[in-house]
Chains A and B, each alone.
Chain A
Amino acid sequence: MSIHTLALALALTAMAGTAFAQSAPPTLRVELAADPANPAAPKMGDRLLFHSTIRNTGATPAPGVLAWVGLVQVDPGQEQPVDLEDWSAHKAITVKLVAPGESVTTDWPMRLIAAGHYRVVVTAASGEAALTPSPFVDLAIRQKPVVESNRVLPVALGVPALLLGGLLLRRRHTGGST
């Protein structure tokens, strides 16, 4: 093999490598974390915040990246995806282009509507990148008592009972007349 042939082979190999790199689909990586300020034991009505980072770890740009937040309930017997209608007004984002090595950070506020055990996930996809979910963030939401039954019950039952007793006593004293 002459030196010219070798140079040509090397050049062709390099060109093929470049072409492969340009045609390889972009690769997204999604990370999700709860805000450190979120309550440790959240209850219904609390507002939590989650942060996601979508990074293009590939060598080609990712155009038209779409990311959305999802929530699944995982209580035994009640496993279901949750309609985020009341939970979050911020359900999805779109990014025109995520360049190689670039990352996009998004905040996902969420109001806790129902008690139970949940897993939060942010999923990203584009026309070219594969569907990429983040790791789950687990969430245990406590019931929020609006009123305390140990305060309401004695009053709700006791006051009418007292008045009824007074009324009966009054009727006994007056012989039933008003």
Chain B
Amino acid sequence: MAGVGEFVEADNAEAIITRIEHKSSKIESLLRQGKHVEALKTALEGSPPNTRDERCKSANWIVVHRALMAIRDLDALFSSLDPEYYDILMKYLYRGLSTGDRPTCDQCLRVHERLTQKAGLGCILRTLTDTVNTV
């Protein structure tokens, strides 16, 4: 993780934004093909928690939000989502809950319930205690 962090910090914000834009179009095409879980994985991959640039964080959140709201079948999501995504997904769920937007919160709570069953309370603790690598 530390190695990734240094890399992102050295990267400039513009490059991250460009990458996220590229990711966004990939996700749109996955969603059109009905590959919702793949889209969410793509959105979570390479999330920029190590940068302090709020524009990058917001840009990635928009992408994750797009993929997250498209998820309908939670069984399918958790049968194919690898444990390595659990911690980062939990962070985005709390970001979603903090928006206060009704449909977003509804969806985040639905996913949160299932994710907690799957990943345990430890996953929530890692999200709440990490005030450095925020999403």
A and B are partners in one complex rather than unrelated chains: no
Residues of B within 8 A of A (CB): none
